[in-house]
Amino acid sequence: MSNEIILDVRNDLREKKDPFKKIIQTVKSLKKDEVFILHSTIKPTPLFTIMKARGYKHHVEKIGHEHYVTRFTKTSSGFFGLFSKKEKENKLPATEEEPLLNEEEPLLNEEEQVAFFLDNRGLQPPQPMVRTMKRLELLKQNEILTIHNDRVPVFLLEELKEQGIDYTVDNLEDGSAKVHLKKL
């Protein structure tokens, strides 16, 4: 049985302090066989990439209201395994420098990257549009992506005209809109 190192950053998050430094310091002090357990109020998604690059896999569990427990365990491949394809080595320190926005999820989670429906409601502009554009990049010919936005995405529609993407719009009762996008 390996040792467990536990860090609870829930108070920092509640007080709107950035717990990133604390976390990274703890991570740096980890020994090879130690398991890192993080308690947080949000799903610590931004951390996953960084930890993956350091050779940790993660397992998240929501155990209560605003209480997530994430278990990071060391795997073998580590940093080079993740970036060997195209990223340069020095990319990683750059990511570390960036202050993490506490409640900022990455644009598209793994599921959404291949999904055909994106719920963009309740997101601050320009997130809905950037998410949609990201997903459209991966969309194959004749596939249809449906997005649900708080309002008709005028600037997106403008962009689509230039990109050769066909769309139809459903205006819903509550003022929101569903747009169906088809790559031609």
Give min distance, CB of 134 to another protein, in A: 8
| Window 7-36: contact mask with another protein (x via CB under 8 A) | ---------x--------------------
Question: Does residue 127 belong to the site contacting another protein (CB under 8 A)?
Answer: yes
**Which of 61-69, 74-82, 98-106, 111-119 is the region at the interface with another protein (rule: CB under 8 A)?**
98-106
> First CA to last CA across the chain, in angstroms?
55
Query: Binding to another protein by residue 164, rule CB under 8 A?
Result: no
Q: How far apart are CA 132 and CA 128, in angstroms?
A: 6
Q: Reduce the secondary structure of 5-31 to three states and give it as a string.
A: EEEECHHHHHCCCCCHHHHHHHHHCCC
d(CA 131, CA 146): 12
Which of 83, 167, 182, 183 is close enough to bind another protein by CB under 8 A? 167
Exposure class string for 8-33: b at 16+ Cβ within 10 A, else e = ebbebbeeeeebbeebeebbeebeee
61 binds another protein (CB under 8 A): no
Cα-based angle 108, 113, 118 (whole degrees, multiple of 5): 70
Question: Does residue 129 touch another protein according to CB under 8 A?
Answer: yes
Site of tokens 């308690």? 39
Considering the rule CB under 8 A, would residue 122 count as an interface residue with another protein? Answer: yes
93 binds another protein (CB under 8 A): no
| Interface residue list for another protein (CB under 8 A) | 16, 98-99, 101, 104, 106-107, 122, 124-127, 129-130, 133, 151-152, 154-155, 157-158, 161, 167-171, 174-175, 179
